[in-house]
Amino acid sequence: MNVLKANFKYNLCWFIIMITGFYLMNTLIMVGMIDSFIENMLVTIWINIILAVGLNLIIGFAGQFSLGHAGFMAIGAYTTAIITQKTVSIGGFYVSFIVGMIIAVVAALIVGIPTLRLRGDYLAIATMGAAEIIRIIINNMKITNGPAGMFNIPQFATWPIVYVIMCITTIITVNFINSRGGRVIKSVREDEIAAEAMGINTTKWKLAAFVLGAVTAAIAGSLHASYLQTIAPNDFGIMESISILIIVVLGGVGSVTGTFLAAVVLGILDTVLQDFGTLRMVIYAAALVLLMVFKPSGLLGTWEFSIRRLFNHIKRRSV
Amino acid sequence: MQIFFQQVINGLSLGSIYALLALGYTMVYGIIKLINFAHGDIYMLGAFWGYYVINVWHFNFMLALLSAMVVCGICGVIIEYLAYRPLRHSPRITALITAIGVSFFLENGMAYLFGSNARDFPQVVKQVNYDIGGVRISNIQLEILITSCVLMLILQLIIKRTKMGRAMRAVSVDNAAAELVGVDLNRTISFTFALGSSMAGAAGVMIGLYYNSIDPLMGLTPGIKAFVAAVVGGIGSVPGASLGGFLIGLLETLVQSIGLSAYKDAVVYVVLIVILLIRPMGIFGKNVKEKV
Amino acid sequence: MRTILKVDSLVKKFGGLTAVSNVSLQLKEDELVALIGPNGAGKTTVFNLLTGVISQTSGTIRFREKEDLISLNNKKAYQIASLGCARTFQNIRLFKNMTVLDNVLVAMTNQYKEGFLKSIFRFPSFYRTEDEILKKARDLLAIFDLDKDMYKLASNLPYGIQRRLEIVRGLAMQPKILFLDEPAAGMNPEETADLTRLIRKIQKQFHITVLLIEHDMSLVMNLAERIYVLDQGKMLAEGTPSEIQQNKAVIKAYLGEEG
């Protein structure tokens, strides 16, 4: 029972941090310190966090190099757009959420079962191809309004909803990583042959991580469509997959804390550079190259923030 | 049947451009296991160089082509020296992100300097169409086909017959062992980048002539297609890259000609995935099994 | 003593090359058997066949499951491992960027259930399961004096300890058979002596069958109850250490014609 009590303490701390974040945001909006411009930036950062945490699960923890994240995001986004335009209600929004997740699971299985046999860059290029196929199909469908995309999607995803869902998906992913399943997928990343020799069905576990990542991407897609109210197939091309990958690598492959940090840094950089016009992307690219050259393992490497360690540290200090 | 042959001619012309680009990907990947994302942008630089020298210095086609090859070769070497060399011992995914960064930098740098609008490529070669049994082939298409075949042959000779080529092959098998027997790693890698980038430069000038329009983002899609071609052919293999390039070019034009142009990229990716599933290392790739 | 593993006329061809031809062998419960042979004799290939890393061209491998001997043909490596065959590798294959504890926990994967919902929503029973399995892993590590390095990354351990951890990781699977592929490779005489003691201890304490490939003759002659000699893919001889030491064919295979 002692274990339960100790863990309850840590979990409570996390809970308090999340609630504090929520009320801080709420207060800052009320006193007018966060205008709609900054709110927009924050929500974009949160959606990117959902995407990048999911991709980090696949790349950083399961060691499977996927470049097709935007494809699953597109599935969630279009499902929500189509369903909420037909049934304009919050209920419809949640239904679209679930439907998007289910379609993403099916798509991830169809893509993952054959391709996850491939290794490294071959897997990357195959998943990239699969995501492009998804995008091209959407581009040619009537119900998705083709290349023009969809407008006037009813906005149900307000900032509190995005915030709460970001917290939930992160909790789920982190809890998965720190459990039996997480240890297994890490072992698959480290050495597939040794993992097989431990009695682990590596194919099944790789697929599990891939599907879980795809589901979080679909969730992020739903939020993206509902918050921005406009989507087009080209929002979900190779470049989107790459920009999620950049967040993961910049933060540190295999560090969820790093993913958070990188998403925030890149989000702020993006907003600050907005005044630079065309020069914006040049500076962004140069910054990216410099960061990679001087910090090859990302901002945080595989370091992870842990309340338990913090407590232990404080305890040791005070003794 | 005539239509079919017409499409084959068109497909081969496009395919030879992909093949030239794919060669650069395959050589760089073979030697440092990096997907050089910026390779497509070198091709864009080649096209812009061609545009300026023809317009400003009134170079003829051959001169434009050769000078573009030299300039792009130098650019490739500089990029490798500044951006990739410091990361040679870093995780490969880091080098990939750096390559993506370089690609963004070149694309947006060019857009900043020259504007992002498409511009007309000067028609330095006057187009003449020949009619062979109902199949129309232009002198530009012929020039592209012949030039790329000659370039590929020269490349094959360099790799198979010269000392530098032997060093390249040695490094691609095992760079540590190659270094032990006296291969200068840095020089070999620089040389590979020079070679690959000059091929891309040539492709850039030729595509400008063929499509008659260039813009700073023109390298993106052909770059990805050419990489797909390299993977299909078996990355690391020079004949594989040429074959893959022609294959993708043909496939695209044929799919387009049967009225499915909206799906032409999708078909390319389906073929990619199918080939990888049947032969995980591509058509000419060697299947290296992990030793237990 | 019942037979635990029975291999009959095993053949493995790689293209035109016959790496293993017509090999038969038998292991009994709680036995410590060595498989020796000159370089390139096909020892590791036999191991890979037995553990399902590669599949045989012909022949059968059968394994005791309660009262019956069941066939392992066409079973995947992870299925064979789950039945109770643990192994180590010639070129140590630890999960390098994971802690010592995690290495052992991964090996215990099939001994506990956590359930997806249970672990992502952290039901109280999750912590109980974790606590139990953690305790089990710790106890095992303590037996082999690895508990003090529990939170170190496997890659940060010295070579000899890495070898030991790989064996302990195999044991954590609660196997019936433990296959050791050259456990003494790269070790100095002192470390080899330690290893000899360790393998004895394992066999006594855990009551499992051990099959080991080894080049170090002092280790083999010291430990093995029975020895199989493989040469050029064929089974050359079988017997007790003293029988093998006097076998003419074996001496010839090791020292060449003039020997």
Reported as a single tens digit per residue, the pLDDT across C110-128 is 999 988 999 999 888 899 9
C-beta atoms of B280 and A118 within 8 A: yes
Which backbone phi and psi does C113 adopt, to 5 degrees?
Answer: -115, 140
Evaluate whether B243 touches B181 at the Cβ level (below 8 Å).
no
In tens, the pLDDT along B32-42 reads 999 999 999 99
C-beta atoms of A183 and C106 within 8 A: yes
Which residue from C81, C97, C121 is facing A190, i.e. has the nearest CB? C97
In tens, the pLDDT along A33-56 reads 999 999 999 999 999 999 999 999
Residue C251's pLDDT is 85
Please check whether residue C219 lies inside any domain of the structure.
Answer: yes
- The shortest C-alpha distance from C47 to chain B (Å) reads 10
Contacts of B93 in chain A (CB under 8 A): 59, 65, 249, 253
β-bridge pairing B129-132 and C3-14: unpaired
Residue C257 has pLDDT above 70, yes or no: no
Please check whether residue C57 lies inside any domain of the structure.
Answer: yes
Span of B133-137, C175-179, C210-214 with lowest mean pLDDT:
B133-137
Which residue from C95, C97, C119 is facing A175, i.e. has the nearest CB? C119
In tens, the pLDDT along A151-167 reads 999 999 999 999 999 99
Residue C147 has pLDDT above 90, yes or no: yes
Cα C75 off chain centre by:
18
For C:113-152, CB contacts with A below 8 A are 114, 116, 119-122, 124, 126-128, 130-131
Q: What is the ipTM of this complex?
A: 0.92
Please check whether residue C85 lies inside any domain of the structure.
Answer: yes
Residues of B at the C interface, defined by Cβ within 8 angstroms: 292
Please check whether residue A210 lies inside any domain of the structure.
Answer: yes
Please check whether residue A29 lies inside any domain of the structure.
Answer: no
Enclosing H/E stretch for B138: strand B135-138
Neighbours of chain C (3+ CB pairs under 8 A): A, B
- Report the CATH number that the domain containing residue C201 is assigned in CATH: 3.40.50.300
Residue B133's pLDDT is 80
- The shortest C-alpha distance from A185 to chain C (Å) reads 9
C-beta atoms of A183 and C96 within 8 A: no
Contacts of C53 in chain B (CB under 8 A): 292
C-beta atoms of B272 and A285 within 8 A: no
- Which residues of chain A register pLDDT less than 50? none
Tokens linked to A12: 């409570």
The fraction of chain A above a pLDDT of 70, given in percent, is 99
Nearest CA in chain C to B289: C54
Q: Count the domains in chain C.
A: 1
> By the CB < 8 Å criterion, does A132 face chain B?
yes
Which residue from A125, A238, A285 is facing B105, i.e. has the nearest CB? A285
Q: Count the domains in chain A.
A: 1
Enclosing H/E stretch for B130: strand B129-132
CA atoms within 13 A on the CB side of B134: 6
pTM to 2 decimals?
0.94
Domain extent at residue C202: 3-93+169-255
Average pLDDT over residues C216-230: 90
In tens, the pLDDT along B118-148 reads 999 988 888 888 888 888 888 999 999 999 9
- Report the CATH number that the domain containing residue A198 is assigned in CATH: 1.10.3470
Residue C215's pLDDT is 82
> By the CB < 8 Å criterion, does A243 face chain B?
no
Contacts of A302 in chain C (CB under 8 A): 97
Neighbours of chain A (3+ CB pairs under 8 A): B, C
Span of A298-312, C6-20, C142-156 with lowest mean pLDDT:
A298-312
Interface test with C, best of B289, B291, B292 (most C CBs within 10 A): B292
Which residue from A59, A118, A289 is facing B83, i.e. has the nearest CB? A289
Q: Tell me the count of A-B CB pairs closer than 8 A.
A: 121
Count of helices and strands (H, E) across chain B:
11, 4
Secondary structure (3-state) at A12: helix
- The shortest C-alpha distance from C135 to chain B (Å) reads 32
Residue C259's pLDDT is 41
Residue C186 has pLDDT above 90, yes or no: no
> By the CB < 8 Å criterion, does B78 face chain A?
no
Please check whether residue A200 lies inside any domain of the structure.
Answer: yes
Evaluate whether C47 touches C7 at the Cβ level (below 8 Å).
no
Domain extent at residue A291: 35-318
Find all residues with CB under 8 Å of A233, minimum gap 6, and list them: A74, A135, A136, A138, A139, A144, A146, A147, A149
Dist. CA C139–CA C108, nearest whole Å: 13
Contacts of B262 in chain A (CB under 8 A): 136, 139-140
Please check whether residue A291 lies inside any domain of the structure.
Answer: yes
> By the CB < 8 Å criterion, does C228 face chain B?
no
- Which residues of chain B register pLDDT less than 50? none
Which residue from A176, A180, A199 is facing C81, i.e. has the nearest CB? A199
> By the CB < 8 Å criterion, does C110 face chain A?
yes
Which backbone phi and psi does A287 adopt, to 5 degrees?
Answer: -60, -40
Q: Token pair 């009225």 is at which residue?
A: B259
Please check whether residue A102 lies inside any domain of the structure.
Answer: yes
Contacts of C48 in chain B (CB under 8 A): 292
Please check whether residue C117 lies inside any domain of the structure.
Answer: no
Nearest CA in chain A to C167: A198
Q: Please classify residue B289 by burial: count the beta carbons closer than 10 Å to its beta carbon, then call 0-12 exposed, 13-18 middle and 19+ buried.
A: exposed
In tens, the pLDDT along C18-72 reads 999 999 999 999 999 999 988 888 999 999 999 999 999 999 999 998 888 999 9
Which residue from A179, A180, A191 is facing C95, i.e. has the nearest CB? A191
Contacts of A176 in chain C (CB under 8 A): 116, 119-120
Residue C216's pLDDT is 81
Residue A318's pLDDT is 81
